[in-house]
Chain A
């Protein structure tokens, strides 16, 4: 047994212990924080499994963004709403949980035992990748080989935002519990962190074609900046979506459709994206859409405006 496997075992045990705590614990606030920790450990697991793209995405989206959304909702619905955390007779649930867990284990272990077919989809991707001009196989799959999936994913994000807007009804934009600004540190935090986040987001976007990174990770990092600006009151939620907001939230989907349809006009089959310029164009639009959509979902608002305006 190597040192690596021992690390894996410790990580695995920590994941199991944390997940048990998250689903059964008595304090919702603490369990949300533990869930964020769980997400960060999952990110470490991705790194251990050799998937740095997923590690970045999990840390930024799975842990950071989901955690921020949860904590925001927790504040909105009131801190003391949880009376009884669990039902009184969890016996049946326990049996079901053990059975489904075992089922996953059996399926997983059986699948591990199957020998990999020589020309699986992943190998085909690696073979065809040099022709796309991209160096990162995951970006290749997302933007070129399975671009349609990613386009529909942007549609799902848009639908989630539209759904949230519908549910919001005619309610006033969510009261944002802002950070106390009477301390100078918060202002300096924004001054220091906002440019760094921008830089990191653009770097992730550009690096994503050849190295770990891409539109999703960049968008999530940018969302972090948006969340910070909402929390410090630099961006205020509004009840109306302006034209620029509407344009930006559909930009990712629109870029896909336009580039996809445009391919038809220049003699390619529709939806066959070609060239790194298309990838950069779509990824930039995706990043902006993701960042704005997620920030709006966080603030439960239809639009955002600057502090002074």
Chain B
């Protein structure tokens, strides 16, 4: 664990893996902290990647601005962090809010990246997402961090992940509750509820991009990811089966494998996005299959695409 000075603030980060070589920089979502990427650190360093994780400004053990914070601050923080590993190819991956920050960074500083992986994310707020975001913010204000966690857990994780933990959910929530302060989370949420859509700028992302979306992601559904796929030139949308919004927690081994394979393909010159829609395997190492060509990937039931 180390700290990086950024203006008047400090950012906690962790860099592990070999001294040189390709790197993954992983960006947290709301209420998350660096340690939640532990499985990725092990899996990716075992495949000779350097892994840099950190606590977002306002979360975990990074500084928490008292009143004012905006998305520009998060993007600005990424720059010095990425510089730490910029002597080799850098792949940037982010989940949810972190995915939005990663998209913004790729729009503004794409030339410093070798690849981009937005996960469970969005480039603009749909009416549903805006209303859900506002409701989550109100929940945080009225019920505290614990209530926000109560809302996020069943929304973002599957029954099969939750079932064995039902009698110890308090301990599952405790670390996130301890390291996150209401005012800082509120500042963070407000910085994401008031922003200009990135959609018109997605076309300027020129790096290879793998977009990951959980099959059952309720919070940021398929259409929000498809908007990324349709506009980012060298991108492919990979649907993660039986996964919800927080699949980076629930299916960490599978997601780490997908990240490693993407970066390996990019570095070998074998990545071809082409706006494809694909389906990830259920287990690490399995085949990534094309989504059936005749069917509409935006539907939740098998409906054929309209013939034109």
- To the question of whether A and B form a pair in one complex, the answer is no
